[in-house]
Amino acid sequence: MLNNSHYIDKLRSSGLRPTKQRIKICEILFNTEKTFHFTINDLVKKISKATNDKISLATVYNTVHAFKKKGYLKEIPINSDQSYFDTNTSHHHHFYDENQKDLIDIDDADVEPVKVNTRIPGKKIKSVEVLVKVEDA
Amino acid sequence: MLNNSHYIDKLRSSGLRPTKQRIKICEILFNTEKTFHFTINDLVKKISKATNDKISLATVYNTVHAFKKKGYLKEIPINSDQSYFDTNTSHHHHFYDENQKDLIDIDDADVEPVKVNTRIPGKKIKSVEVLVKVEDA
DNA sequence: TCAACAGTTTAGAACTATTATAATGTAGAA
DNA sequence: TTCTACATTATAATAGTTCTAAACTGTTGA
């Protein structure tokens, strides 16, 4: 296990108090090279595997929302009965396999920049997200 | 009001019985040049304005799902607490105004074709959807 | 150090969109 | 007309998420 001081600094520097719940969730989400996609339910399961101290569901929601707001997580736009989050906050897009109900990252180098030649007056672009739905060939 | 026989034929030819509820919903959704985006809740409100005969919520859900399955409606992938549907089933993309919670069509001519230079083995691409999130400038 | 306060966690209730149920109604075929 | 399968309906059930209010804790500053 890595030193948690990194997470403590990260949390503190973004104005979030480094509580033990938040540090634990940081460990689970960010203590790995690999990024991944998850639902709240997935995360709750990971937490209960990783620790004996239970974290309340409300805290999991609060924390995920706080992390999203701070830019440590991205929410993936997809119609589903649950929200999907992504620990990969760099710019990239997704395949969604409609048969397996599975999300797969698309390396950003594999998608030509999307050019949108129109604007909404008084609005600025926040993000451009591409979802490629695939199905069994 | 246009002649409903068109909708009756359309429904019948796709294997859906032309009930008065379905015909009414067809009138509301398709009796206009303009295409539009709506949630189930929006549609329920439109129905209650347009008719005195109330249509039950379950029927609205059933009908929208049936129409989507038949390709008369598209569901728009977006994270929201509600599902959004689109009467424009041709290929096009969307802006989503995060302040007004409003969807806006992007004319397909205003988006350069999205090139995805990678594939999932054994899968074929079903759709490529671009969602441009905007916020107040 | 420690009191005070603001931010955080918590269990559980509440809320919202959606789906399921099962009884009643209706379109279309024979 | 009568039958049957499909549709509609009110309502209950479900599931994900948010709210509430009380208890707890990290941080500040005296």
Over residues A2-25, the pLDDT tens digits come to 467 899 999 999 999 999 999 999
- Would the Cβ of A134 be found within 7 angstroms of any atom in strand C? no
Q: Is the pLDDT of residue B64 over 70?
A: yes
Residue A17 CA and nucleotide C5 C1' are separated, in Å, by 14
Spatial contact of A60 and A91, defined as CB atoms under 8 Å apart: no
Query: Structurally, how many domains does chain B consist of?
Result: 2
Whether A86 maps to a domain, the answer reads: no
Residues B87-101: tens digit of each pLDDT: 999 999 999 888 777
B120 at A interface, C-beta within 8 A: yes
Whether B83 maps to a domain, the answer reads: no
Whether A35 maps to a domain, the answer reads: yes
Do B12 and B44 fall into the same domain? yes
Do A17 and A68 fall into the same domain? yes
Other beta carbons within 10 Å of A19:
13
Do A99 and A72 fall into the same domain? no
Give the pLDDT confidence score for residue B14 in this predicted structure. 94
Chain A / chain B CB contacts < 8 angstroms? 118
Average pLDDT score, chain A: 91
CA separation for the pair A115, A15 (Å, rounded): 36
Do A40 and A64 fall into the same domain? yes
Do B95 and B72 fall into the same domain? no
Q: Is the pLDDT of residue A1 over 50?
A: no
* Residue found by looking up tokens 């990252």 in the block: A105
Kindly state the average pLDDT of the residues B64-73.
96
Whether B85 maps to a domain, the answer reads: no
Residues B109-131: tens digit of each pLDDT: 999 999 999 999 999 998 899 99
Average pLDDT score, chain B: 91
Do B65 and B28 fall into the same domain? yes
Looking at residue A32, which CATH number applies to its domain?
Answer: 1.10.10.10
Do A53 and A103 fall into the same domain? no
Torsion over CA of B134, A105, B78 and B21, rounded to 10 degrees?
150
Do A56 and A115 fall into the same domain? no
What residues of chain A, 74 to 93, have a C-beta less than 8 Å from chain B?
75-79, 83, 93
Give the pLDDT confidence score for residue A77 in this predicted structure. 84
Do B9 and B72 fall into the same domain? yes
C1'-nearest nucleotide to the CA of A61: D17
pLDDT classification of B71: cutoffs 50, 70, 90 = very high
Whether B59 maps to a domain, the answer reads: yes
Whether A127 maps to a domain, the answer reads: yes
Do A26 and A69 fall into the same domain? yes
- Would the Cβ of B23 be found within 7 angstroms of any atom in strand C? no
Residue length of chain B: 137
**Who contacts A20 (Cβ-Cβ below 8 Å, separation ≥6)?**
A53
Do A10 and A70 fall into the same domain? yes
Q: Is the pLDDT of residue B21 over 50?
A: yes
Find and list the nucleotides of strand D having atoms within 7 Å of a protein beta carbon: 6-11, 15-20, 25-27
Do B98 and B66 fall into the same domain? no
Whether A49 maps to a domain, the answer reads: yes
Residues A60-95: tens digit of each pLDDT: 999 999 999 999 999 998 887 889 999 999 989 999
Whether A82 maps to a domain, the answer reads: no
CA separation for the pair A66, B60 (Å, rounded): 36
Q: Is the pLDDT of residue A135 over 80?
A: yes
Residue B4 CA and nucleotide D1 C1' are separated, in Å, by 28
Q: Is the pLDDT of residue A100 over 80?
A: no
* Range(s) of the domain holding residue B36: 5-76
**Considering chain B, what percentage of its residues have pLDDT values greater than 90?**
72
